Structure 1
Amino acid sequence: MQSESRKYEEEETPSLHWGLDPVFFAFARLYIKDIKEMRESKQVPVDDSTGVINCVCWKNPMVTEQSSSGRPSTPNSLTVLEQIKKLQEMVSQKTKLEIGDVVRVRGHIRTYRQQREIQASCFYKVDDPVCNVQISRMLELPCLYREVYDKPFQGPEEGQSGLEGQTFSINVLHQKVESFLLENKIQTFYQQELETIDTLMSLVVVHLPTPDCQEVKSKSTCSSKRIHSVFQQAIRMLQEKGVVFQKPGSSKELYHVTDNDKELLKVTLDVIKKDCRKPRHAENGCHFLHILNCVRQSHNPSLTEVVMHRVLELLERNSDVVSTMEGYYMTF
């Protein structure tokens, strides 16, 4: 995700290495100028508009069904219409925008009729009377560019061996493990269970350099220990990102997946809902550290900040909470 002037000065990064770039597993916050100058990768297929478009057919509640006798029937139609009307009014109030409103938008980039645009997956109005949110964003972007986006990505080189090869294997593996856990909605797992997944094991076999085990009596034992070590380090990287965590009192080998821990999400949301009713939190919402402290007291005393950040990002992405300013959250 570099601007056009810089991106094509060098050869495009191979798609195999995309998962190692921090931009690919984080929400990217870019200047509009760079978004407009980006170009599609030549390594992935592009839709030529000749394929079938999937559509959803919505049934009109005003159309009556035919009963077995051939006569129209409208059971509870009035109740359904009233519910739909109330829902439409509620959505209209939440999404109605006027000129001058400050909004926060999250979505993905696409090209439509040769024009670059962001297709919003969610958006909401921001109450920012003294411009705190806008100032925070203006200060955040230069830091992100300086620390992440402007630094050239260094992918692994072919022929690497030893420690470099193992590092590459761990980086690739931890990305694939994260995708596997989220796509399959895994709530808890043991490391040994991951080591039985063929798609994950194949990554280790392909990228991990063959060790010199001449002095070891059993090569299979040597390989097994190295594989176990690579999985262990990959899981540790996921812990550092807040993707997985462990609970005190449970098995030290049992890991919980943050995004799929419904109890943790519910406890966090309940804390915000309850405390936002209090006068001191009613205007700006609850601060991150306050939420973390409450969740630690009621749910998990060893919960880390990075896990709490991920939980709040997930709740915000699902439109359950909204950040009113830097570090403050409240419910809709």
Structure 2
Amino acid sequence: MQSDPAKYEAEMPSLLWGLDPVFSAFARLYIKDIKEMKESKQVPVDDGTGVINCICWKNPREAEWSLPGLDTSCSSDLAEQMKKLQEEVLQKTKLEIGDVVWVRGHIRIYREQREIQASTYYKVDDPMCEVQISRMLELPCLYREVYDKPFKIPEEAPSAPGGLNLRSSIDLLSEKVKDFLLENRIQTFYQQELETVNNLVSLASQPVSRTDSQLMDSKSEPSSKLIHRAFKEAIKVLQEKGVVFQKSNSPKDVYHVTDQDKELHNVTLGVVKADCRKSRHAEKGCHFLHILCCVRQSYSPYLSEMVMHHVLNLLERNSDIVSTMEGYYMAF
């Protein structure tokens, strides 16, 4: 039986997983994200019911320590040191309810439930909550700088079957458009204005690897229409990332650059400041969806979640607000 390729369109091919440096590192994630992870459909998953043959199995408590060349006095000192080490290990691994634990392991499915199979763990002595506070400050930065950014396949990566480049020219054009907008501090623009920028037009007019049917359809189209379509798709990519947006649902409306829209920044900051003064938000701040709802009411009802995430991340980088916990923000 053959697999349905439509199931895997949203996934990166498994042969390219190793190109992402995060793939081979221990990721520090929120428990909620671990529980909501989507499993890959490209490779089989071991459910833990298989048997792995062992060459040798021995209880470490029954292991005999044999160190030749040591005199009696030296071996007794070593035995005492080993005893202290075992007591320390036992103290670190003896857990009680309420203990703070550092855990490293891998995720597996057992009896249709997702769990973390710990390979290393120990109890953390943290009476002043310094370790926990450090972790709370570290995680938002990791998410913002690493986990929330989509992995970009290197240009030299091989092409996928069917002649479609994994990093398409549309993705490359969208990155160049983004760089052009930010470098020139452009606040608003129309698509037609981008189509007058020579270096962007030359990039948009480059041939794109397509399937045979797409090539046949494009032969009858003039180059100007193909360039116009390329810019439209590139802007759509930037909209999905929250880099640009429109205040109405008209495709002919002007595009706003999220990083340069000071009015949107001020409205968002004003919402967070005003609501954090209220008693129900004073402790943990305002939730993302509440902020989005308020900004939509006072700025634009067509504002997307990605744009709102982009603005909140920008305000946090500028130290105007701080994320107190997952999805909650508070103004200074």
Q: What is the TM-score with the length of structure 2 in the denominator?
A: 0.52
Give the number of aligned pairs: 208
- Amino acid aligned to 2:310: R
Q: 3-state DSSP class of the match of 1:274?
A: helix
Corresponding residue for 2:259?
A: 259
- Amino acid aligned to 2:262: K
Contact 2:159-2:166 at 8 Å conserved across structures: no
- 1:280–1:157 distance in 2 versus 1, CA, 3 Å: closer
> Alpha-carbon deviations, 1:288-316, whole Å to 9, x = none?
11111111111111211111000000111
Corresponding residue for 2:135?
A: 134
- Amino acid aligned to 2:204: V
Instruction: Write the distance in 2 (CA, Å) between the matches of 1:296 and 1:322.
Output: 21
Instruction: Write the distance in 1 (CA, Å) between the matches of 2:134 and 2:303.
Output: 28
Deviation at 1:194, TM superposition (A): 0.7
Q: Matched residues, percent identical?
A: 53
Superposition RMSD in Å: 4.3
Contact 2:276-2:286 at 8 Å conserved across structures: yes
Contact 1:323-1:329 at 8 Å conserved across structures: yes
Deviation at 1:172, TM superposition (A): 0.5
Instruction: Write the distance in 1 (CA, Å) between the matches of 2:21 and 2:229.
Output: 23
2:169 counterpart of 1:180? no
Deviation at 1:237, TM superposition (A): 0.5
Structure 1 residue runs of 5 or longer lacking an equivalent are 1-9, 14-20, 24-28, 32-127
Q: 3-state DSSP class of the match of 1:282?
A: coil
Structure with larger RCO (C-alpha < 8 A, sep 6+): 1
Query: Structure 1 residues 256-265 or 129-138, which shifts more?
Result: 129-138
- 1:162–1:186 distance in 2 versus 1, CA, 3 Å: farther
Deviation at 1:171, TM superposition (A): 1.0
Matches within 5 A, 1:38-187: 131=132, 134=135, 153=153, 155=155, 164=164, 168-187=168-187
Instruction: Write the distance in 2 (CA, Å) between the matches of 1:305 and 1:140.
Output: 19
Q: 3-state DSSP class of the match of 1:185?
A: coil
Structure 2 residue runs of 5 or longer lacking an equivalent are 1-15, 29-128
Corresponding residue for 1:273?
A: 273
- 1:321–1:148 distance in 2 versus 1, CA, 3 Å: closer
Corresponding residue for 2:314?
A: 314
Contact 2:284-2:328 at 8 Å conserved across structures: yes
- Amino acid aligned to 2:305: E
Matches within 5 A, 1:13-32: none
